[in-house]
């Protein structure tokens, strides 16, 4: 049974439900006048998910809708009063950069990835998180997407409740403002917004919500067009440059240098935006390359989570001890 829902518009943020006559399952669209594919997932994830069958996209939408039904937005807003105290995500990155002279590390807690499969068979998220913190990570990124990264919000909560002091980024495919509130109630200090997924109007709206509830937002770009779009938006403090091509999964760290050259680099400096290098960083030479290009923070997962001792993995990555 197919469901031909690809896009639809919701003009009222409170009217986020749509009934499919064929499936009798509620579908959703995120907020305001949002018009996007139902999945909201980036190209390349799971056989170009944005262009996959309507059934696949609808199942993803239905899954999020079920979470929303169990956790009404009104309840989440009330729960914010009892959410774990916010930690300064951006401040921690700045402090680390000043202290070590190297890009502040956002170390990623993840079991698997779509391109590499399972990265760590014996995966204990709290142990990994504590090893990262011991190794000098400024912040942590915790995968909460289950389907493609084998992550969960349970991992995020467990790390937060384990006494880990590093600020936490909720690494999820955000397509609905509801997810921002949910992440905050689970202990997140920051979230990821992907320019390849969200149109500009929705980036602006989500930034507004993030400011309202205290979340930092790491806005991720992959190419010149996405960078130019984000530079035209006020209020962005963190831009991540992902060196992975989401269509082919190929990685080229020269992408970072390309996007930071010339007028774009000057605009970033004028706006005091911290640039985060992402993907393809495995050696001290890689770190030096992106730092010279203008990066002041890096997000790294694979090259350290695969190590038997992630603390040592961080030392090997930087070529020095950054924990002192």
Active-site residue list: 108, 110, 171, 220, 242, 278-279
Q: What's phi and psi for 54, nearest 5 deg?
A: -60, -35
- Chain centroid offset of residue 212 CA: 19
CB 187 within 8 A of CB 160: yes
Q: Using only C-alpha atoms, what is the Rg of the chain?
A: 19
Rounded to whole angstroms, the maximal C-alpha distance in the chain is 60
CB 223 within 8 A of CB 193: no
Q: What's phi and psi for 240, nearest 5 deg?
A: -100, 130
Token pair for residue 294? 């203008």
Residues 300, 183, 219, 296: is their CA dihedral positive or negative? Answer: negative
Q: Which residues, in sequence order, are CB contacts of 14 under 8 Å at separation 6+?
A: none
DSSP 260-281: HSHHHHHHHHHTTPEEEEES--
DSSP 214-236: T-EEEEEE-SHHHHHHHHTSTT-
Count Cα neighbours of 164 within 13 Å in the Cβ-side half-sphere. Answer: 35
Q: What's phi and psi for 49, nearest 5 deg?
A: -60, -30
CB 24 within 8 A of CB 2: no
Distance between first and last Cα of the chain = 59
Q: Of all helices (H) and strands (E), which one includes residue 303?
A: helix 302-305
């Amino acid at each position: 049974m197919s469901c031909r829902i690809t896009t639809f518009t919701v003009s009222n943020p409170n009217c986020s439900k749509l009934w499919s006559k064929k499936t009798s399952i509620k579908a959703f669209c995120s907020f305001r006048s949002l018009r996007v594919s139902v999945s909201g997932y980036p190209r390349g994830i799971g056989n170009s998910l944005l262009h996959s069958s309507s059934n696949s996209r609808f199942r993803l939408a239905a899954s999020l809708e079920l979470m929303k039904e169990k956790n009404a937005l009104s309840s989440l807003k009330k729960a914010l009063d009892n959410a774990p105290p916010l930690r300064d995500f951006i401040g921690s990155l700045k402090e680390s950069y000043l202290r070590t002279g190297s890009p502040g590390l956002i170390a990623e807690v993840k079991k698997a990835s779509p391109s590499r499969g399972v990265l760590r068979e014996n995966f204990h998220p709290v142990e990994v998180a504590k090893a990262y913190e011991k190794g000098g990570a400024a912040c942590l990124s915790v995968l909460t997407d289950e389907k493609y990264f084998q992550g969960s919000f349970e991992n995020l909560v467990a790390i937060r409740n384990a006494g880990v002091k590093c600020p936490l980024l909720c690494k999820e495919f955000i397509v609905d403002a509801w997810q921002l509130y949910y992440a905050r109630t689970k202990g997140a200090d920051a979230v990821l917004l992907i320019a390849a997924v969200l149109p500009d109007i929705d980036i602006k709206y989500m930034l507004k919500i993030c400011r309202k509830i205290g979340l930092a937002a790491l806005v991720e770009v992959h190419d010149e067009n996405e960078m130019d779009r984000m530079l035209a938006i006020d209020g962005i403090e963190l831009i991540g440059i992902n060196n992975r091509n989401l269509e082919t999964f190929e990685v080229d760290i020269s992408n970072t240098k390309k996007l930071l050259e010339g007028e774009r680099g000057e605009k970033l400096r004028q706006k005091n935006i911290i640039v985060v290098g992402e993907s393809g960083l495995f050696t001290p030479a890689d770190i030096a390359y992106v730092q010279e290009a203008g990066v002041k923070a890096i997000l790294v997962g694979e090259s350290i989570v695969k190590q038997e001792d992630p603390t040592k993995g961080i030392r090997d990555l930087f070529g020095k001890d950054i924990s002192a």
